[in-house]
Structures are given as C-alpha cells and as structure tokens.
Amino acid sequence: MSALEFLLAGTLAAALPLLLAALGEMVVEKTGLLNLGLEGMMAIGAAIAFICVYHSGSHGLGFAAAAIVSAILAMVFAFLVIFVRANEVAAGLAVGVLGLGLSALFGKTYESLTITGLPEFGLPVLSQIPVIGPTLLTQDVVVWLAILGTVGLWFVLNKTKLGLIITAVGENAEAARAIGYPVAAIRCAAVAFGGAMCGLAGAYASTVYTPLWADGMIAGRGWIALALVVFGTWQTGRVAFGALLFGVLSLGELTAQAIGVAIPSQVLSSLPYIVTILMLVAISRHRHRASLQ
C-alpha cells in the first residue's frame, strides 16, 4: 500500500479518540464550564477498558465500563465546581492528574499484555469502490457507530429543545435559572456526558486502535481534543471536520510522505496547537470587536 492508502485507511481510526473526547468536551463547554481533565479521563477510560476486555473478551463491556468510570471521575470535577464552587481550572487539572495516576496504578500489571482488536468491515456495495472502498470505507464497528453518534449529537444540539436548553444554560445561566431550568443538574449531566465520551475515546485507543495498554498511551490526545473544541468553534460539524484534520496530522511522518515534502514531524505535531492559537485569536478578535460596537 502507498502512504496515501495508509492515510485513507488510518485517518478515521486516528481521528476517532479525538472526535469522541472533543464532542464530549464541546457539550460541557456549551453549558458554560471548562473541564481541563480530558487527558486523565481518557487515560482512565483506556486502562479500565483494556482490563475489562482482557478478562472478559467483550469489547462492549470494556467500552461500557470505561464510559462509566470516566463519567464518575468527571463527576468529581462537577461536584467541586458546581456544588463547592471551586476554581474550575484547578479542579479540571486535579481530575486530570488523578485520572492519569489512577490509570497507571490500575494498569500497571497489564503493561505489555495484548488483546485482539475489532474486525473491520466495509459498507455494503460502497466498499467495492476502488482505492477508497477497501481503505476509507472499511473500518471497525466503533467508527461507524461514532459517525452515527456525531450526526445524532448534531441533531440533538441543533434541532431539539434539549439542545436549546443546553445553549441557554451556557449563554446565560442566570436567565436560564430564572425561567426554571435546573442549571446545576444540566451542567452535571453535561460533565458526566463529557466524561463518558472521554472514556469511550480512551477505550477505543487502548482496545481497538492499538490493542494494548501502556502508561502514557493517551499521549496528549486529550489536549488536542481540547484544542479541537476551539478549532471547531463549538459546532458539531466543524469539530468533526477538525478531528479528521488533526487525525491526519497525528499520523505525522506518514502524512509528510503522502504529500511528498520533507517537513520535520515536530512541525506537523505542533500544527494543531498553532492552528488552535490562531483560531482563538480569530474568534476572540471577532468578539472583541462586537463588544466594542
């Protein structure tokens, strides 16, 4: 296979952990909170999922356990920020460090063991298309489910009353409380959802993408996911697009090969962060101006 074919085959899978974690965080941020603990929540999800799959052989069980455990960790953040009114930056980092530490602690005896990943299958008919059929359109079941889930999330956020309430809570919590929405409960639910999504993202990384557990395997994906939410300006479609883009970039060397230029891989690895800073400037400047008028 050429580098391009590898890229086509690998991008969706590389993008998936970023996509799931970023969509979860996007919902959290839409309700007006910022949880910086993504990296830790993904790590604990990855460890728990690996342990579950290793013992039970069931990926479904692994994903479910990862989602639950990461959501519980996220609730620590929710509790500290919403009920105890702790500083959200500190609380997010605390949860992040805790998650990273716990994942290494639980996963220690599972280091360097392996499990089997998930089989890939193509979309009927479409997977017969040359080049993209056997590569881009042949993926594991989680990828297909995640694409469905992304569309579902877009629908909920943009076309339903629940989506409106979430946006209202984020944009003006006081007003939302005044018209009787349970702001704290909605924020808690969003944080739990964000945690569960991080758990799923971690589970994918450790049981499907590279079916093994290693300490530090999340390797900054949580931070990229955080960057993605900004990059995608809090809109489902753009976050999903960004995940694909950052997914390609995370395949660094391969991408450089495919586009045929010799760029140091560090430049490619920095791109998501540089792009995010530029996006932040662009968005904030817009708002900065609007507030002056």
Partner 1 sequence: MRLQLIRRDAASRLAMFGAPALALILTCLSSLILFALLGIPAGKALHALLLKPFLSWYSFSEVLLKMAPLLLIAQGLAIGFRANVFNIGAEGQFIIGAVCASAFPVFYPDGSFPMMLPAMIIAGGLGGMAYAGIAAGLRTRFGASEILVTLMLSLIAVQILNYLLLGPWKDPRGFNFPQTVMFPDNALLPLLFENVRPNISLIFALGASLFAYLMMERHFRGYQLRTAGLAPKAARYAGFSAPRMIWLSLALSGLAAGIAGASEVAGPLGQLQRSVATGYGYAAIIVAYVGGLRPIGIIASSFLISVLYIGGDSATVSAGLPVAAVEVFQGMLLCFYLLTFTLIRFRIQITRGATT
- The rounded distance, in Å, linking the Cα atoms of 250 and 268 is 8
- Least distance from partner 1 to the Cβ atom of residue 163, Å: 24
CB 82 within 8 A of CB 22: no
Element (H, E) at 138: strand 138-140
Considering only 98-106, 128-136, 188-196, 206-214, which stretch makes contact with partner 1 by CB under 8 A? 98-106
- Least distance from partner 1 to the Cβ atom of residue 177, Å: 8
Retrieve residue 211's tokens.
């079916």
By CB under 8 A, residue 91 contacts partner 1: yes
- Least distance from partner 1 to the Cβ atom of residue 287, Å: 7
- Least distance from partner 1 to the Cβ atom of residue 172, Å: 16
Retrieve residue 59's tokens.
């990926």
Radius of gyration of the chain from Cα atoms? 19
| Interacting positions 177-196 with partner 1 (CB under 8 A) | none
- Least distance from partner 1 to the Cβ atom of residue 125, Å: 42
By CB under 8 A, residue 74 contacts partner 1: no
By CB under 8 A, residue 55 contacts partner 1: no
Write down the H helix ranges in 79-216. 88-107, 141-159, 161-171, 173-178, 183-204
User: If 0-12 CB within 10 Å is exposed, 13-18 middle and 19+ buried, where does residue 192 land?
Assistant: buried
Q: Binder to partner 1 among 1, 90, 151, 185 (CB under 8 A)?
A: 90
By CB under 8 A, residue 223 contacts partner 1: yes
- Here the contacts of 55-61 (C-beta below 8 Å, separation 24 or greater) are 57/115, 59/118, 59/207, 59/208
Phi first, then psi, for residue 67 (nearest 5°) are -60, -45
- Least distance from partner 1 to the Cβ atom of residue 37, Å: 9
Of 29 and 140, nearer to partner 1 (C-beta) is 29
DSSP 236: H
- The rounded distance, in Å, linking the Cα atoms of 154 and 111 is 37
Q: Binder to partner 1 among 17, 32, 96, 170 (CB under 8 A)?
A: 96
Binding residues for partner 1, per CB under 8 A?
A: 34, 36, 40, 76, 80, 83-87, 89-91, 93-106, 108, 215, 220, 223, 226-227, 230, 264, 266-267, 269-270, 273-274, 276-277, 280-281, 284-285, 287-288
